[in-house]
Amino acid sequence: MKNNMQGKILCFGELLLRMSPQDDWAAQGALPFYIGGAELNVATALANWQLPVGYVTALPDNYLSDSLLQYVSSKNIDAAHILKTNGRLGMYYLGEGHEIKSSGVVYDRENSAFAGLKPGDIDWDAALKGCSWLHLSAITPALNATVAAVCVEAAKAAAARGITVSIDLNYRQKLWQYGVQPPVIMNDILPYCNVVMGNIWSANSLLDVPCAADGTEPPSELLELAKQSMAGIMQQYLGVHTCAYTFRMQANYWAVALQGGEVSVSGVYDTVNATGRVGSGDCFMAGLVYGLYTQNDAQYAVSFATAAATGKLYEQGDATTQTVDDVTKRMTNG
């Protein structure tokens, strides 16, 4: 596997405001917020790790978006291809310490500028110029059929140009509400993908890859089930050359990757006292991209990604502020 190391990494997805209500938010008259979104979190981490990154999204045409564009640019992320169009900002509500997959998350994304995107709105020739990597997530096609078609358009355009395409199989059941089963949509995107990140449960929900695990199995059994699941993805989607699965258990975090028939397993990190829950998966995805982009080695990539994701569990906010040195020190000590 070879990557063009000179190219930019382009991330495509919706910029979101996360409202983070505390127990007494109504009485206090305060509602803290964070700027994020899965793909922006990945872009922010990669830019912080000194890689060339661009970001494509759609924002409403108003002064709030002007401030957000300045924010994105301030993170050393190329915002030149962010569209300003009709609609509103997408938001969701989730308090600190809560799980984004739990019943506690409240989405407020309908009729957003991003949700109104349709094929042809984005000039992919221009956006992908100078890029060697495109990153997507399964959150985006969960919004509606039209945005899903834009994901297919993006992945197809990148693949036609020989650009590596990665996708995070982050499953959000509350978002898949437009009458089509996820595997039907994802089956149109995965044929153009090369790097897949997820876990045995998300692969089952999004790709219909068999999964018999309930999370109580010993690590050795979970590892074997992960290997089988990842191999199943590679057999079904021949363009996929690297898969990585995470296991964020109650007391620890670890991951496994499959590339070229070789299995690579990360260290196991104690997470009993973790304080943050949002963005750890995005941080792992960024770490995986970083490792493959710079090292071209799955063992390094999965080890770096796991150390980065574990560090994110102890940070507030949506995107990591860890440096490469922070992550590599954790890799050494973990």
Please compute the mean of the pLDDT values over residues 56-78 and round it to a whole number. 96
Please compute the mean of the pLDDT values over residues 185-212 and round it to a whole number. 96
Q: What is the pLDDT of residue 29?
A: 77
Give the single-character DSSP code of 331.
Answer: H
Question: Hey, which bits of the chain come out as E strands?
Answer: 8-12, 16-19, 33-36, 53-56, 58-60, 77-78, 83-85, 90-93, 106-108, 131-137, 164-168, 195-198, 242-248, 252-259, 262-265, 269-270
Please compute the mean of the pLDDT values over residues 316-332 and round it to a whole number. 92
Residue 98 has pLDDT above 80, yes or no: no
Q: What is the pLDDT of residue 100?
A: 54
Residue 205 has pLDDT above 80, yes or no: yes
Give the single-character DSSP code of 88.
Answer: B
| Average pLDDT score, the chain | 92
Q: What is the pLDDT of residue 277?
A: 73
Residue 305 has pLDDT above 50, yes or no: yes
Q: What is the pLDDT of residue 25?
A: 76
Q: What is the pLDDT of residue 102?
A: 54
Query: In the chain, what is the greatest distance between 2 CA atoms, to the nearest angstrom?
Result: 56
Q: Is the model more confident about 274 or about 331?
A: 331
Q: What is the pLDDT of residue 2?
A: 43
Please compute the mean of the pLDDT values over residues 245-264 and round it to a whole number. 93
Indicate the pTM of the whole model. Answer: 0.94
Cα-Cα-Cα-Cα torsion 42, 43, 46, 48, nearest 10 degrees, comes to: -110
CB 45 within 8 A of CB 89: no
